[in-house]
Amino acid sequence: MARHSGELELPLDVRRRAEGPAGSTVVVEAVLAALPSPTLLLDAEGTVLLANTAWVKAADVLGDDRVRIGVDGDYFAMVRRLDGQSAAALVEQLRALSRGECASVQADQPIELRDGTRWVHVQASRVDRAGQVVVTHTDVTSRVAAERASDWRARHDTLTELPNRAHLHELIDAALQLPDRGPVSVLFLDVDGFKDVNDSLGHDAGDDLLRQVARRLTGSTRVDDTVGRLGGDEFVILCRDCSTDGAQALADRCRASIDRPFDLGGRLVRLGVSIGIATAPESGAVAVRSADLVRDADLAMYAAKAAGRNRVRLFTADLRSAAQRKATFAAELREAILDEQLVLHYQPILHLPSGRCTGVEALVRWQHSTRGLLLPGEFLPTAAQHDLMTAIARWVLRSATRQTAAWSRAGLHLVTSVNISASHFSTGTLVRDVHEALAEAGLPPEQLVIELTETSVAEDAQRAAAQFAELRRSGVEVSIDDFGSGFSSLGQLVSMPTGILKIDRSLVAFPEGRRSEAAAAIAAVVALGRACGVRSLAEGVETAEQLELAEQLGCTFAQGFTVARPMPADQLAAWAAEHAEQLLAGALR
């Protein structure tokens, strides 16, 4: 009878009679004939003692004389003829089964036929102490093909059909672990400008572009090289027995292939590619892992991109040291946010019609334990790279609202502006975070202004408008920072529910001899804002002439070094009092 998976085990009485004389062969033959799978009875040497009807029919269907084996035929020789590579292992397993050294044998065996490869699941059981073996055969070609297809899909990128990240690391590790190997190089490639194609032409065009890039890279490599896709627009090339010079030559060929225009639905697009190269020297005492080699090539690629894109950069130890320093710095910044190492300085904002200080802008600093007070430009780029901008913005919101409420209780009523990053803006939690900070501090919403840069607003104008409108309905004012530094449309500005335009310092700090041009630009922004019911603020005012011009052109507010530099919170009250006295003295004169 058949057990699970079709494994054959003859009944005990049949096995006993097979060991005995005369009629036992007839009984065994009847049992085998009843089995639906092609089945043979072999002796210890692999000679066929019995073959059932299903075996004969299967041989006829296959139409290959090599499988037409009958009584007294050599099964072991037939297996070797059909597949020499794996046959030796199967024959040895069957011999061990015949000797009683194992309970059963199961194996998927390939059969190389004229019309292609077929797969047979071979199951064998020992019949008697004389070493006779019953072998059944089940065609599992469809199952093996499905398994292999599934395994292929798990190891390859479905879009480009290149090896994927996991398989690439397997291949690189295998190359690195070969004894007495030559140098192994890895190229890490990032397509420059791919996001612009995706955004402007759509994802279908982006997919088409990636497939074309894959074909071009594959066409640029040697026979023994492997091109894979890590994901997005990032590719890796494994170069076996390839020195740094050879990898550099390959990188130049790849750049040349990508430099040719791509045809995307009739539209020609030109791109570049930034390439990093890392090489593991010939095999030696120091073991190298694929993760290390790919990481080093990745660092070199980012260095190439930072140097101006469409370049090639070789990995050097200083790149890894710099990366480790950045990682340490990022970890310190995370701790700084949690441990209240950040501090706020406040820059006064003048209301030009009255000359009074009516507000401040909260500017974050980091009181580093060993490097002293760090300005935003020294740590915010790291924060942006490690997704810490939103955490910093939430801290600034809480701290600034508490300080503003404390000033109010002391009789100093100011409106405080807080900068919000585009990443915080895109989370969708901005409105909730603002309201929580106000409630916690007990600060009226009218004493808070939320600032977002013009370029950040332009990235998602619809979402910006919805959140700005909700904030303004609650009483919080909204300001567009750095206006004039980007190229967002006037239509977006007209539809944006904002109350203040901060004129970028590049317009305010006009170069010598360009006062009239700067005045015209500032006047245009002020008039545009006034037409939309929006007040204007000139930022970066560093000279008395610039302050005078901003006032003459109708700006509502101004801030900059000529008014006051950013200062700690405990100095602001004294500065405000002194400024009020000077203003009063000037009015009395």
Percent of the chain having pLDDT more than 70? 90
E strand intervals along 281-436: 312-314, 342-351, 356-368, 372-374, 415-419
Provide the pLDDT for residue 189.
97
Cβ–Cβ contacts within 10 Å for residue 311, how many?
19
13 versus 97: the higher-pLDDT residue is 97
Average pLDDT over residues 248-271: 94
CB of 9 within 8 A of CB of 124?
no
Tens of pLDDT, residues 215-256:
999 999 999 999 999 999 999 999 999 999 999 999 999 999
pLDDT, residue 495, reads 66
Do 164 and 229 touch, CB atoms closer than 8 A? yes
Mean predicted confidence (pLDDT) in 18-41: 71
d(CA 456, CA 463): 11
| Range with lowest mean pLDDT among 43-47, 140-144, 525-529, 569-573 | 525-529
Domains, in order of start, for the chain: 4-146 (3.30.450.20), 156-315 (3.30.70.270), 334-569 (3.20.20.450)
Amino acid symbol at 390: T
Q: Give the pLDDT score at 17.
A: 38
- pLDDT value of position 18: 43
Confidence (pLDDT) at 222: 93
110: enclosing H helix or E strand: strand 104-113
Phi, psi of 441 (to 5 degrees): -85, -20
- In order of 17, 109, 133, 417, the CA distances from 49 in angstroms are 15, 21, 10, 95
Residues whose CB falls within 8 Å of the CB of residue 545, separated by 6 or more in sequence, listed in order = 515
Give 461: exposed, middle or buried? Use CB within 10 Å, 0-12, 13-18, 19+. middle
Q: Can you give the pLDDT at residue 452?
A: 84
The pLDDT assigned to 127 comes to 84
d(CA 501, CA 556): 10
pLDDT at 10 over 50: no
403 CB-near residues (< 8 Å, 6+ apart): 344, 346, 362, 416, 569
Q: Is the pLDDT of residue 581 over 50?
A: yes
Q: What is the mean pLDDT of residues 172-185?
A: 92
Q: Flag whether pLDDT at 283 surpasses 80.
A: no
- Please state, in angstroms and rounded to a whole number, the distance separating the CA atoms of residues 378 and 64: 76
Q: What is the arithmetic mean of pLDDT over 84-113?
A: 88
User: Does the structure show a pLDDT above 80 at 210?
Assistant: yes
Measure the CA–CA gap between 185 and 190, rounded to whole angstroms. 17
The token duo for 319 is 């790149």
Mean pLDDT of the 73-94 span = 86
pTM (2 decimals)? 0.63
